[in-house]
Amino acid sequence: MNDGETGRRVVDDRFELESRLGGGGMGTVWRARDLLLHRSVAVKEVRPADPDLAEYDPDSARMLRERVLREARALARVQHPNVVTIHHIVDGGTGTYPWIVMELVEGGSLADRLARGPMKPAEAARVGRGVLDALRAAHAMGVQHRDVKPANVLLRTDGRPVLTDFGIAAIRESTALTATGSIIGTPDYMAPERVTGGEGGPAADLWSLAMMLYVAVEGHHPLQRGTTLATLAAVLHEDVPPPKQAGPLTPVLARVLVRDPAARPDTQTVDGLLAAAAEAVQDSGTTSYPLAPPKPPPPVPSAADTVVPRPPRRRGGAVIASAVAGVVLVSGGTWLAVNGGDDNKATGASGPTRHSSTQQTGSSTSTEPSASATERSGSAVPSGTSKLATGMLTPKGIRTALKAIEDETGRHTFGDLRVYTSYISVEAMVSGSKTRYDTYTYRPGTGVEKGIIKGTLSGEEPVSLKGYNWDALPSLIAFGEKKLKVDKPTEAYLWLQPPRSVFGTPVSINIYLNNEYGETGYLVVTPQGKVTKVMPVDP
């Protein structure tokens, strides 16, 4: 890449980078201008989550480069209007990471669309047919996608879907980069046969497609659990519960989301079922509504049971040194690890420690936030207390746990922090590193335990938790009970997410309330305890 005198970033003396479109643990996708053909394109800049990968693990860096080249070749083999078109690849040779130049799809991703609320069944069925067409074309060329999920489905401005990111596609004639027994992909959408380390086949991509459609209409994932390992175990051993909002999509979901791949219908049958669902008259009682924030994971066993609490994160590279039902997750390099999704969109933010604790957005300057769907204010710390602020979810509980973790590990900076009534979990940064972390939990009676999950921050900055106003927590939970419209809340939890340097997103402290029906609302507050956003249950 060349930097001209004007500060322009130009790749291969031809592609001028204009703006960032998205990214994840594998790198960044840019909107760029092709200076030769005078057209807009998407350029995928491949970088490992750990910038030191090539230095301490050159074999993994080499495999990363080979994987990217394989992605380009896989894409080039599949010519279809529902598969993203690859135009060019920039390869500087051994010791470098390639750039992939692709067509620019302007409508955002399906993940962006679902962030605004679930789809009606007919709408989801139309998207599903387009993705299925792309998969059929890929399968005909001997290519399996292996990572069908909302973030990998782009939408044209007219709503037509385009399947992208064939980076872990398995080509029958070239499987050298798929280690025996390893899992490469996103656990939420992975078919059971791939969880067990099997090669899988086209039927596995159909499972992923059906699970994506389930999430699209229901607004939640039926098998997602509080940890990667727990999610994989659920995929292996739990039945998918019947959908409640799927309407005419129900038959295809019921027939595809079965564990035995041989029992799933073929692509022609699935296409017929999707076509029928797309043409069905939508029940007027089914409407779109904003997605609820993530529910807390269920209580988890101690570290001896090999499950560590870890809510869904948008992050690159978690290295899991354990097995579920005989499944081995190999680390080889952070890019090979199972992750929970891609970071495709900048999100909202709360007040950071390095900024003023009082913020304003638009004309909202009131001293108490209202219960509108989305609001920022910078209100004063609420007063009051709540019966939900018990156990570890108290100022004393948090301080006790953090002190014990710091005393035990000698670590004083962290990735995120999750606080539940029965335990606290943190990502503690490895000494001398700003990206690598180990997980630790603290429980009363058992103390500090090191978790089995390791990983690297991707675009996030570790934080010190000194000076945080934990004393405000009981009042904040009580305030949430008044404003979040959660009927008879049964539990509360706290999730602190570190700032993101890429977007300039500050540290975010989210306080969630939910009830036995799964209704969830949350507050966003600053480290000083000021409420900056209220996200109630949608009326």
Tokens of 253: 């979901």
Tokens of 131: 């993705």
Q: Find tokens 């993203």 and name the residue.
A: 84
Is residue 435 classed exposed, middle or buried when 0-12, 13-18 and 19+ CB atoms within 10 A define those classes? Answer: buried
In contact, 487 and 518? CB cutoff 8 Å? no
The C-alpha atoms of residue 151 and residue 26 are separated, in whole angstroms, by 13
The single-letter DSSP state of residue 415 is: E
Q: From the candidates 50, 147, 165, 416, give the one annotated as an active-site residue.
A: 147
Which residue type, as a one-letter code, is found at position 222?
Answer: P
The C-alpha atoms of residue 201 and residue 187 are separated, in whole angstroms, by 16
What are the φ and ψ backbone dihedral angles of 88, each rounded to 5 degrees? Answer: -165, 155
Alpha-helical (H) ranges within 351-472 are 395-409
The C-alpha atoms of residue 70 and residue 146 are separated, in whole angstroms, by 14
Give the three-class secondary structure for 396.
Answer: helix
Could you confirm whether 438 is annotated as catalytic?
Answer: no
Picking from 188, 46, 168, 166, the residue whose alpha carbon sits closest to that of residue 114 is 188
Separation of CA 166 from chain center: 18
In contact, 162 and 156? CB cutoff 8 Å? yes
Q: Which residues of 6-33 are buried (b: 16+ CB within 10 A; e: fewer)?
A: eeebbbbebbbbeeebbbbbbbbbbbbb
The C-alpha atoms of residue 124 and residue 484 are separated, in whole angstroms, by 29
Please name every residue paired with 254 in a beta bridge, in sequence order, or none if there are none: none
CA distance between the termini of the chain? 50
Distances (CA, A) of 247 to 119, 212, 216, 438, 445: 12, 16, 13, 43, 48
Give the side-chain half-sphere CA count within 13 A for 424: 29
The single-letter DSSP state of residue 306 is: T
In contact, 435 and 456? CB cutoff 8 Å? yes
Tokens of 355: 């900024």
Give the number of other Cβ atoms within 10 Å of residue 445's Cβ. Answer: 4
Distances (CA, A) of 483 to 215, 360, 394, 487, 534: 27, 19, 20, 11, 8
Residues labelled as active-site residues: 147
